[in-house]
Amino acid sequence: MLYFTAHDNGLRRRRILVAAATAVALLLAASAYVVLSRGHASPSASPSSELDVLSPPEAAPDVGPTNGVLPELDPTADPESFARLVAHAIFDWDTAVVVPLSDYANRLVTVADPTGESSPGLVADVAGYLPTATSWSQLRTYATRQWLAINTAEVPSLWSQAEVEAGPDGFLPGTTAFTITGVRHRAGVWEGNPVTSEHDVAFTVFIVCSPSYPECHLLRLSRLDEPLG
C-alpha cells in the first residue's frame, strides 16, 4: 500500500504516519496487482484481447500531445477537477505520436508537492501505471493508444478516519483524496485490422490544495485497483 505525509518532522511525524497507514491499511481492499498497461500483443494473441477501441475517446481534459509536444497540466484550485485531470494524465497516452514515454511521467512529477518530500514515492507510483520502455516500444508497433473514461470521482469514506489517525499535525491543510473509478480503453491495429479492449480500473489520488497552496498539487497514488474505500 502507498501512503504519504506532507512533512516529516522527526520521530513524532513518522509515528503519526505509521498510525495513519496502519489504520487505513486494515480497511483497504487487497487484490493482486496486474499491470495491464505493461501488456502487449503477441503473435498468438487474438485481435480483441490486447489492444483498445478506435472509437473517439470520451470528452475529457485535453492532455494529449499537440504537434509532438505534451502540454503541461492546467493549474486549478478545485480538488475534484485536479484529481480528474491527474487521472487522465496517467491513463491517456498515444504511442503513435512521437513523444517520449518519460514526458508522460515527468509531467505528473512537475505538479508534485513543491516541498519535494513526496516526489520520490510519486515517481515510483507513476511508474506502476505507465508501460515500461520495452512495452512502450512493442505497443508502438500496433499504434496503440489508451484513454480513461471516468465513472466516479469521490472522496473515499475512509479518508476521514485517516485524518483522525494522522492527528492535527499529520497532513497539510487542504490535503485530501479522491478515489477514481472508470474504464481503461485501448485502441490499436493488429495485422491491418482495428482491435479493441477495455478494463475496469479503480485507484486513489492523494492531493493537497488550498489553504496550503493556491493551486492543487499531487502527493501520491494508490496502487492500481487497490483504492482507498
Q: pTM of the entire structure?
A: 0.75
Is 70 exceeded by the pLDDT of residue 176?
A: yes
Which range, of 1-10, 99-108, 200-209, averages the lowest pLDDT?
A: 1-10
Average of pLDDT values for 71-95? Answer: 96
CA–CA gap between residue 105 and residue 37 (Å, rounded): 14
135-160: per-residue pLDDT in tens? 999 999 999 999 999 999 999 999 99
Percent of the chain, pLDDT > 90?
Answer: 64
7-51: per-residue pLDDT in tens? 344 333 333 333 333 333 322 222 222 222 333 333 333 344 444
> What are the backbone angles phi and psi of residue 210, rounded to the nearest 5°?
-65, 145
90 closest CA partner among 106, 74, 75: 106
For residues 65 and 44, which has the higher predicted lDDT (pLDDT)?
65
For the chain, give the mean pLDDT.
79
Is 60 exceeded by the pLDDT of residue 123?
A: yes
What local confidence, expressed as pLDDT, does residue 171 receive? 93
